[in-house]
Amino acid sequence: MKKLTLQWRITLLTALVLTACSITLTAASIINADRAFVSLIERGSAMEMVGAVADEQPKNSGAATGVEAVPAQEAKQQFSLSSILFCVCVTATGTIAAYLLAGKVLRPLHELTDAVEAVDEKNLSYRLPAAVSNDEVGKLTKDFNGMLRRLDDAFLRQKRFTANAAHELKTPLATMKTGAQVLKADSSASLTDYQDHAEKMLYSVDRLSRIVDDLLLLASAGDSASHDKEEVMLEPLFEAIQSELVFQMGERCITCTAACGELTVTGNPAFLYRIFFNLMENACKYGHDGGHIWIEAARQENRVSVSVKDDGPGISSEHLPYIFDAFYRVDKSRSREMGGSGLGLSLVKTMVDAEGGGIIVQSDGTNGTSFVVTLPV
């Protein structure tokens, strides 16, 4: 059974209300009229009886009473019929008016519905015409356009992410394929040649494995952060990270100073470790040889702010809005040379958001970069 439209439902509801009110008013009018007519007839009969006693003409009085009663009864019936007809006319007129008025009021909503039905995944850039009025329909139009804009941005980011992921996965695969083809075509290849190609293939496999691991972690970060929340002390956390990065830091003569005191944060220990590991590893990669990394933590009401700053070349302003996008690289050649997957900072942003925190990047493009992470205590 087809469901009634909103216009018809409003019309039927209005008709029911009008019918109930009209019936109530008509019934009250008829009852009051009956009482008035009965009182009038009784007064007329009493007057006739008084006249009959005075003139001693009972026959004429009886005839007069009948003559007076009949027109009164007919008038009462006519009034009742008129009241019922008036009730029907008012109900019918009100119903028609309600239908037309509801249609006029709901017309912008119908236009909005038609426009919404025309939107699909192929034309998310479409926007509904801006409403002139500031009523509920105008607000709904504005909110719907905002939702379309967010969906369009999300789809574009997803497309870029998919394209970049395919490219990043294809590069090490192409390297391995080329190496295998060279060995297959060169029948005179020596053991050294095989070892060289094998080393390149292992490097490509490691890179491919890191990309896949980061992609899986990026996909699951939002679902996993709510579990296993603990209070983590920052000083031991950064000491453990420095121990793991000791080779990279020693190779480039980079030193690190951590000033965290006894401050703690609450969150998933594995996520917190990965957040600050990625930031420190990023500082090691892009800092100057013989440079320094500064780590500072400070309490701000019920949150802790942690900054990781390097003394590298910095990030220019045009790159800052995209620095947390997946596979985005400021210096593409240098990033690939250092073996980065392009997902490090994107993972940091995703995990910080999942922990209920925030992260900002500060750089003037010439004198180092600072990442400031804010996390709940």
Cα R_g (the chain), whole angstroms: 43
How far is residue 254's CA from residue 247's CA, in Å, rounded to a whole number? 10
Both 97 and 240 in a single domain?
Answer: no
- Domain boundary pick from 91, 117, 143: 117
How many domains, the chain?
Answer: 2
Boundary of a domain, candidates 98, 117, 136: 117
23, part of any domain: yes
Q: Which residues share a beta bridge with 308? A: 295, 371
Distance CA 277, CA 123 (A): 41
| CATH classification of the domain holding 354 | 3.30.565.10
Let me know if residue 159 belongs to a domain. Answer: no
131 in a structural domain? no
The DSSP call for residue 366 is: S
List helix spans (H) across the chain. 6-55, 58-117, 136-185, 191-224, 234-244, 246-251, 269-286, 332-337, 344-354
Give the CA distances from residue 344 to residues 35, 151, 263, 351, 360, in Å, rounded to whole numbers and listed in that order: 91, 25, 25, 11, 15
Same domain as 371, residue 236: yes
Residue 234 falls within a domain, yes or no? Answer: yes
What pLDDT, in 10s, does the model give residues 121-178? 677 777 777 766 677 777 888 888 888 888 888 887 777 777 777 777 787 788 788 8
CA–CA distance, 318 with 328 (Å, rounded to integer)? 13
29 found inside a domain: yes
Same domain, 231 and 101: no
Residues in the chain, pLDDT under 70: 1-2, 36-73, 76, 121, 131-133, 222-227, 332-341
d(CA 72, CA 60): 19
* Contact present, 7 and 103 (Cβ < 8 Å): yes
Do 234 and 306 form a contact (C-beta atoms < 8 A)?
yes
Cross-strand partners of 369: 363
Q: How far apart are alpha carbons 169 and 160 in whole angstroms?
A: 14
What Å distances lie between residue 17 and 12, 22, 93, 95, CA to CA? Answer: 9, 9, 13, 10
Last residue of one domain, picked from the residues 117, 151, 175 = 117
Domain assignment of residue 190, yes or no: no
CB 211 within 8 A of CB 171: no
Q: Residue 74 sits in which domain range? A: 6-117
How distant, in Å, are the alpha carbons of 90, 202, 294 from that of 245? 87, 22, 15
Q: Would residue 247 count as lying in a domain?
A: yes
d(CA 167, CA 180): 20
Q: How many residues does the chain have?
A: 377
Buried b (16+ CB within 10 A) or exposed e, 68-94: bbeeeeeebeebeeebeeebeebbeeb
d(CA 64, CA 53): 14
Residue 281 and residue 246 in contact, taking contact as beta carbons nearer than 8 Å: no
Q: How far apart are CA 194 and CA 281, in angstroms?
A: 33
65 falls within a domain:
yes
